[in-house]
Structure 1
Amino acid sequence: MKFLATVATATLFVATAAFAGGHANWASVDGESSVAFGSIKNDTAGEVHHFSAVKGSVSEAGELAIMIDVSSVETNIDIRNERMTEHVFQGGSATAVLSGEIDMEELTALEVGATRLMDIEGTLTFGGLETDVEAKMLVARLGEDRVLVTTADFIMLSTEDLGIDAGIDALMELASLSGITRVTPVSVRMVFEK
């Protein structure tokens, strides 16, 4: 969950840079915004999962906010979705929240068709824990009122740092697995419009 928040926060920061030329609130586009993460079980089987319910916004003052509904996890196996929600994501009742603030005066607007790499820092909270995060993001100005923000590289996150090791242990036991990786690659794709 924290990794989701991290991705979302980074996305918001990058989006703010692209939106610096305007004075309106920007909101993420449903169906075009997603956070994905990978896992490897038994040291041999790699899989990709994602969260489908991710919402973000950037205010004209540079205030960032993004929420990830962890119950929207999609692993392409129904029983695994249920187990991850119950054991890893606190029954789906918790929400990963990313927040931060951007100095809009220091950011420059991108022209339509232009891209830019940015190093981003932010803060995320999940399950009562707060974590500082960093990421390299690519932002592309798709139109005057439309911006794509995506990870330029994978964000590698530790399950221990995220506070979800006990949930991973439970998944291993339920699925009779000898191991599930304790570091996960995360990618983010967000489309913002104003």
Structure 2
Amino acid sequence: MKAFLKTAAVVMAFAGPAFAGGHETWKTVDDESLIAFGSIKKNTVGEVHTFEGLSGSVNEKGAVSLAIELSSVETNIDIRNERMMEHVFKAADAVAELKGEIDFDEVHDLEIGATTVVDFEGTLGLAGVSADVEAELFVARLSEDRVLVTTSDMIMLSTADLGIDAGVDKLMELASLPGITRVTPVSVRMVFEK
């Protein structure tokens, strides 16, 4: 489940190139950005969850910084939201941080209405654990001052990468479930503007 955080980081990194061409910092449009992740329980029930508390920026040098407020997790079941905060994320005010750099040159000349696909690599940190993040992002220039960044393909992330397997085990115990998948599909949609 922490895998979704990785995805968010990737999206931010990709957005940066389209922002090149000035000394402004590009920032997320928080109410238009989200990370979605899926889970399967009992081997047959698929569910979609989201994080909506996102904020970040990409500066003119290509430095990417993204914060994900884990308390914004929405699983559509209140008690499950609370259990995820307590047992998976370990704190009510936990924040995951994505840091990295991008090469602005790849999409520097992206015209309004044009799109491109870029690769991203970075590091996602959560509760003292860090994991490398790699993704392919789809970037669309919406206007001179706005860029949309989404995942190009489905990103599959392992709960073991960020050390949250014990928390998932606890969720299974509390809900009396025989299983919850340990690989999570993640998608990201982020809008940046200067």
Give the structure-2-normalised TM-score. Answer: 0.95
CA RMSD of aligned residues (A): 1.4
Aligned partner of 2:69 in structure 1 is 69
Cα drift, residue 104 of structure 1: 3.4
Cα drift, residue 9 of structure 1: 1.8
Is residue 81 from structure 1 mapped to residue 81 from structure 2 by the alignment? yes
Cα drift, residue 30 of structure 1: 1.7
Q: What amino acid does structure 1 have at the position aligned with 2:78?
A: D
Contact kept, 8 Å, 1:2 with 1:124, in 2: the verdict is: no
Aligned partner of 1:154 in structure 2 is 154
Contact kept, 8 Å, 1:28 with 1:55, in 2: the verdict is: yes
Counterparts of residues 76-155 of structure 1 (less than 5 Å):
76-105=76-105, 107-155=107-155
Cα separation, 2, equivalents of 1:103 and 1:83: 39
What CA deviation, in whole Å up to 9, does each residue of 1:64-89 have, x standing for no partner? Answer: 10000001100111111111111111
> 5+ unaligned residues in a row in structure 2: which ranges?
none
What CA deviation, in whole Å up to 9, does each residue of 1:140-165 have, x standing for no partner? Answer: 00000000000011111111112100
Cα separation, 2, equivalents of 1:103 and 1:45: 40
Cα separation, 2, equivalents of 1:164 and 1:179: 15
Cα separation, 2, equivalents of 1:156 and 1:123: 16
**Aligned-partner SS, 2:82:** helix
Give the structure-1-normalised TM-score. Answer: 0.95
Residues 125 and 84 of structure 1: CA distance in aligned 2, closer, same or farther (over 3 Å): same
Cα separation, 1, equivalents of 2:37 and 2:26: 25
Cα separation, 2, equivalents of 1:154 and 1:89: 23
Q: What amino acid does structure 2 have at the position aligned with 1:153?
A: D
Contact kept, 8 Å, 2:6 with 2:124, in 1: the verdict is: yes
% same residue: 63
**Aligned-partner SS, 1:49:** strand
Aligned partner of 2:12 in structure 1 is 12
> 5+ unaligned residues in a row in structure 1: which ranges?
none
More divergent stretch after superposition (83-92 vs 71-80): 83-92
**Aligned-partner SS, 1:38:** strand
Q: What amino acid does structure 2 have at the position aligned with 1:174?
A: L
Contact kept, 8 Å, 2:85 with 2:91, in 1: the verdict is: yes
Is residue 45 from structure 1 mapped to residue 45 from structure 2 by the alignment? yes
Cα separation, 2, equivalents of 1:77 and 1:2: 18
Contact kept, 8 Å, 2:17 with 2:103, in 1: the verdict is: no
Cα drift, residue 94 of structure 1: 2.3
Aligned partner of 1:174 in structure 2 is 174
What CA deviation, in whole Å up to 9, does each residue of 1:2-58 have, x standing for no partner? Answer: 423311221122111111223210110021100110000000000000001011101
Contact kept, 8 Å, 1:10 with 1:137, in 2: the verdict is: yes
More divergent stretch after superposition (51-60 vs 92-101): 92-101
What is the number of residues matched between the two proteins?
Answer: 194
**Aligned-partner SS, 2:32:** coil
